[in-house]
A and B are shown apart, each in its own frame.
Chain A
Amino acid sequence: MRLIALIVKEWKLLLRDWHALLLLFAMPAAFILVMSLAMQNDFAEHASVSVHYYLVDQDSSAVSKALLQQLAAIPHFKRVPSKASLAQLKERVKRSRAQFVVIVPKDFGKAMLGKNPEPVQMLAGPDVEPAVYQLFAAALRGALGHTYLQHLLAPLQTQLEISGSGGLDLDAAGKLLKDRSLYEVNGQNRRPTSVQQSVPAWLLFAMFFIALPLSTTWVQERQQGTYARLRSMGLGAGVLLIGKLLSYIIINLLQVVLMLAVGVFVVPWFGGDSLTLGHAPLALSLMALAVSFASVAYALLIANLVSTSEQATMLTGVTNLLMAAIGGIMVPGFLMPPVMQALSHYSPMAWGLQGFLDIFLRRGGLSMVLSQAGLLSGFGVGCLLLSGWLLNKRQRK
């Protein structure tokens, strides 16, 4: 009865606090929507997303024109036509009007096969991410390789055509690679969208922010004396902790439902890719419950560590960002250096992320996520025990 009273009280309080409702529901929904739309710069699938570059052709030869054609054929790299001077173009790239300037020097075509070729220059803007830099450089190298071969083999091409044995197929190299993703939808191989890859990470990140409203409410209850009053009424630390835990797990699970619904139904309205939930509702429920338990228990630990709402806000923000950074939420784990990869095994967000990716990308079931759910539950139990100890310690002060 006491537990029900505590849960009902939390809900009444929440329903009368528009700010908290916004923070708990509207913000995560908006967060998932914005992140889904922002993260879908999938070069392979979205023609609308592109990297812009200026091109200065100082050579204007047949070879340089062939290179320009090669570059123009690459999807998602958009040349911005401009008659501005090179200095002006460099300045524009510095200010992120485009990401790159490519300069084809004078005599590029003439010197290409000689001992001292004139290299093409690629200049990148200061805000170009390393991955985009490498991608553009690789594409440029590919186009240059193709142009070089075309130029090198041109006499042979003419000879073969004259002898009637057919021409050279310079695009044959492209046929030597067949790529596919192991991601499957309805038994068919498909490339996962970046929404599918990024939503689980941001979902998890948002779930751990439950610590903000919970810890500030708890601090207020302590400061207002309601906590002392309830203790004087014979309510033990355990009942108070469990009451808070259950109330906020329900809230946290509603957040999950809302955020997944946004991923599935709302993101496509805005032109994004729809989130596919996988085929294991039980596994998804277990993971959602385990992450909720871990995040709310962690929130209770923060609430019992701090003395003021300001401290709670600060500690929640900093530790969540750290857990996210270590846990592969912001940068995928495989891109991290070995030390950081080893560290990421200790972040609860990494456990949650692996579990969600098992369901969303690897199409795993209940057995596949048991270990992650176990780790998260263990973390939650640890946080709860520590919270109880801190609560009793604080009571003696």
Chain B
Amino acid sequence: MIQIEDLSFRYPGAVRDAIQELSLQVHRGSLFGLLGPNGSGKTTLISILTGLLSPARGAIRIDGLNLTAQARKIQAFSALVPQEYAFYPRLSVQDNLQFFGAALTVPAAELRGRLDEAITTTGLEAFRKIRAEHLSGGLKRRLNLAIGLLNRPRLLFLDEPTVGIDPQSRHFILESIRRINAAGTTVVYTTHYMEEVESLCDEIGILDDGHLLARGTLSQLLNDAGSQALTINLTTSPTAAQQAALQAIAGLQIDVSTLHVKRCDAAQVRTLLDVLAGQELAVGRLQYGYGNLEELFLHLTGRQLRD
């Protein structure tokens, strides 16, 4: 559905690229999670993919169309749900949907049907006549999503659609997104909530400082050879002689009483444990591989996702 090759983008006056030589593929019908901390380039990438920003270098094809030359055609079958409440607070739910429907040039005969459909999908039936400014945070997020459904998009970009809402509303929105995706819409979903990506997305891209650090399914990312890291906490710090013996293990790093090996297969784990036993060093805690995205992200970037 989306093919990005060597994409770079720099804001005017900035000293470095916000997106750096990024290549990525998003398959048709997938629910693709773009994970990264604030400022990692997620919104910039979404803005480029929705035609709001023009990239300096690289090529983007969406559904076989060249984004630079055929942006209008792509915009006709795609939709953006921005991070902000991008509607008019003083207009009612219905008036907002009517206006954006007309702005999308949905034919008048079809507009009512589309409106009902978007309202039903997002559970806003009881709030049609309510002014948007009087809705709760969760309902505002739903309205934001409903506007994005008016052109029945084949490709939907959701930029942090669950920021700042209660768990119940979040659950409703995530379920809605799941249903929209199940109905055939390709969804690109940006967030910095890892648990959402883990539970929702079938493919994940990890973005940091404009670089795509990793891409794949959740199990691929967690089981990747790159994530076969070993961390051992010893009960005592090794002596100089013991440290010399441990250096026989390739890639081993010693940090006081903690041992790290970035890449380590099962045979190497066994060898290391044998060496430790031979040196009479007791193991307090041992971790092999990553249990979740948080640890993977920490490993890839050296910092927490919410930094």
Contacts and interface: CB of A to CB of B under 8 A. Distances in A.
Interface of A: 1-2, 4-6, 8-9, 12-13, 16-17, 223-226, 228-235, 395-397
Q: Which of B75, B83, B99, B103 has the most CB of A within 10 A?
A: B103
Q: Which of A230, A234, A235 has the most CB of B within 10 A?
A: A234
Nearest to A17: B90
Given A8-B99, A225-B82, A228-B52, A234 B72 contact: yes
Chain A to chain B: the 6 pairs with minimum beta-carbon distance, closest first: A225-B84, A5-B102, A225-B86, A229-B86, A232-B80, A225-B82
Interface residues of B, number: 34
B253 to A, nearest CB: 43
Contact of A16 (B54, B91, B100, B102): B91
B83 A12 contact: no
A396 B52 CA distance: 8
- SS class of chain A's interface: helix, strand, loop or mixed? helix
Interface string B1-40: 0000000000110000000000000000000000000000
A233 B85 contact: no
Given A16-B91, A224-B84, A233 B103 contact: yes
Interface in B224-263: none
26 contacts: A1-B105, A2-B102, A2-B105, A5-B103, A6-B103, A9-B88, A12-B91, A13-B88, A13-B91, A224-B85, A224-B89, A225-B82, A225-B85, A226-B87, A226-B88, A228-B47, A228-B82, A229-B147, A232-B50, A232-B51, A232-B80, A233-B79, A233-B104, A233-B151, A234-B71, A396-B12
A223 B88 CA distance: 12
Contacts of B298: none
B269 interface: no
B76 interface: yes
Contact of A5 (B85, B86, B99): B99
Interface of B: 11-12, 47, 50-54, 71-72, 75-76, 79-80, 82-91, 95, 99-100, 102-105, 131, 147, 151
Given A2-B103, A5-B103, A12-B95, A231 B52 contact: yes
Given A1-B102, A13-B91, A397-B11, A229 B82 contact: yes
A9 B86 contact: no
